[in-house]
Each structure stands twice: as C-alpha cells, then as structure tokens.
Amino acid sequence: MAWIASPGVHRVQFETVATDGSARAGEATTANGTYSTPLFMPVGTRGAIKYLSAADYDALGAQIVLGNTYHLMLRPGAETIARFGGLASFAGWDGLTLTDSGGFQVFSLDPKVDDGGVTFKSTYDGTTYRFTPEQAIETQQLLGADIQMVLDVCPPLPSPPDVIRRAVDRTALWAERAQAHHSRTDQALFGIVQGGTSESMRAESAQRTVALGFDGYGIGGLSVGETREEMLPALAAAIAHLPADRPRYLMGVGDPASLVEAVGLGVDQFDCVMQTRLGRHGTALTARGRVNVKRNEFALTDDPIDPACACSVCARHSLGYIRHLFKVGEPTASRLVSLHNVAWTIDLMARMRVAILDGRFDALRADVLSVWG
C-alpha cells in the first residue's frame, strides 16, 4: 500500500467550542469522523475491551476505542488485521480507533534501548523483537487506526535526572523519524511529550515536539507512580507550550480526580484501563466514590450500583444480584460492573463538557474532588 501525506497539512481539525478558564470543550474532525471533547477513550488492548463487544461500545456512547500496538502486532499480527480492513473493521466497530505505539508496554519489559530503537522479548513466547520508530509507524499503518502515536521512551517514576534527560532526547529523535516516515493521509499522527515530573523538561519536550508539527499531542509518562500533586505541575508545564488548535491527550489517566483536574488545565482526551480492571474485581465508580459490590452489606440491597447513574446496568440490576454473581463466580458480574464503570466515566466527561459550555466547570470540579480528591 502507498499513502502520500502533504507536508504541513493537519489530518485532524480541532475547534474550541467553549472555554471556562483553561478548561475547554471542542470538536475534533478526523478523516473518518468527528469526536467531541472532553473525551474518555476505553481501552481495547487486544482488539476488545475486556468482557465487552463492539455492540456495547455503541450502547455506551464511546467515540474512540484504543488498541495496543504491542499486543496486536504479536497476536494476531498487523498484517492479519490489515487483511480485515483495519482494526475497526476487524472488531466490527463503526466508531473511531486509536493505537498507541506499544512503547509503554515495551518499556515495562526491561528492554535494551539505544538511539536506534528497542529490543525486547515477547511476553507470549519469549521471541526477541527489534522495534524502531519507523517500524512503529509501519505497524500502526497496517492496523489502520484513525489516530496513531509515535514511539516514545517512557521512564518509570521516580527516575534520576539523567534517565529523564535521555528519555526526552530519544523521544524527540524518534518523533522526528516517525514524522518523516508517516505517510497515510487518512490516519492522524500524534507526537508525545515526556519529561517526568520536571517542569523544565516537560516544557522543553513540548516545545521540541510541537516544532515537528503533529496532528495532536499526547502527554505520556505520567500517572506511573508519582502523586497527583507531582503530576499536575508537570502537566501544566507541558500544556503551556502546546498549540490551542491541536487536541491534547493525557495518556493512561482515568481516575475521576485526575480527569477533572486535567480538564481544568486544558486537556481534551484520556484513556485508561482502570475502569474495566476495577470492574472485573467488583469495584464500581459511583457518585459516592468507589463501591466494593461484593460486600456482605449489599446481599439484600435492591438499589442499583449508583442511583444517580442512567446506564443500562443501573436501570436493570440490583446490587444484591450483582453481588450474588460475584459470590458464585459468574463472569457476568465482571461484565456488568465493567459496563457500568465505562458508562459512568463517559457520562462524567459529558457532564464536564456541559459544565464548560454553561460556565460552571469550577462548581463541577469542586463536586468531583469533594468525593474523589
């Protein structure tokens, strides 16, 4: 296949519809559809959100669903997915898709890293792989997501300054190579800002990434061990240097307090596995905080998980019933709480958008933090 991109032409058009302080509501248009922000993007690591199907994505009102390049390139393989017409077609999903570069997963495997790329072993069979910024682009072009991410260096936190420095430098080097190699006009490419919790490093990384002219900007390497108090100043330092006419994506963050704080700083989109990871183990997100639905006190409760929630799970099922399913080992229990958690988070983002449009974001932020802060 051959795709030729026009230099300097953005493949995502972003319009700010309203602002309330630094928080903003926007509309982003890709080659294959438009999405509204602030936005939560559920994660379908291996081609599906765990326990959910594409029919569920529609019912939940998801706009973008993520896929993980690392896992998909190993099984079933990017070429296989390309034969099905790309990730969305493969999954039977009519909405938009985003693939990360797999960098976070690769760096969790203690790989060998040099300026050229990374060498790592498959978690499936131990096979050794070499992955470069160019290969990350080629793989994601085969996967065919509407938005792909550059390969970056994601250091753990805390890390010493020299480790953060190398991550910033290599991320910038790899971003330039990725930009030069990317060629699909129907697929947007986002750069990624690194820098740990250093405000100066975050500012530098943002400036170097923006200078390359990406369709949007991911902010990576946060919520990986640092406190929220450490995260927010670093996030603000990066945002200060990101263009207002490009989407801003805080990667891997999904707890309600961090979501509302980051939107307040001007972030547009988020992803996280937390919603389904908690759901699989019986923890629900609610207006009153986290609720462990397996607790004995809910055995005779006919209330829903969250009386304030309008999702299909809360409309139909009681806490007593869902607790029973967990106690007898019925997998439906994990599915129901996962559905609720994703729906609840998507609704939280929708409420943030309305609050921005109505000029009352600070009040909503205070309400969320009073429970989740």
Q: Which residues are catalytic?
A: 100, 271
User: Largest Cα–Cα distance in the chain?
Assistant: 63
Is the peptide bond preceding residue 307 cis, with omega within 30 degrees of 0? no
- Quick one: DSSP state of residue 12? S
CA 186 → CA 5, 70, 87, 164, distances in Å?
Answer: 9, 22, 14, 33
For residue 216, which phi and psi values (nearest 5 degrees)?
A: -165, 175
Q: How far apart are CA 314 and CA 321, in angstroms?
A: 11
State the amino acid at position 325 in one-letter form: L
Which contacts (CB < 8 Å, 24+ apart) does range 288-293 have?
A: 288/371, 289/371, 289/372, 293/319, 293/322, 293/323, 293/326, 293/333, 293/337
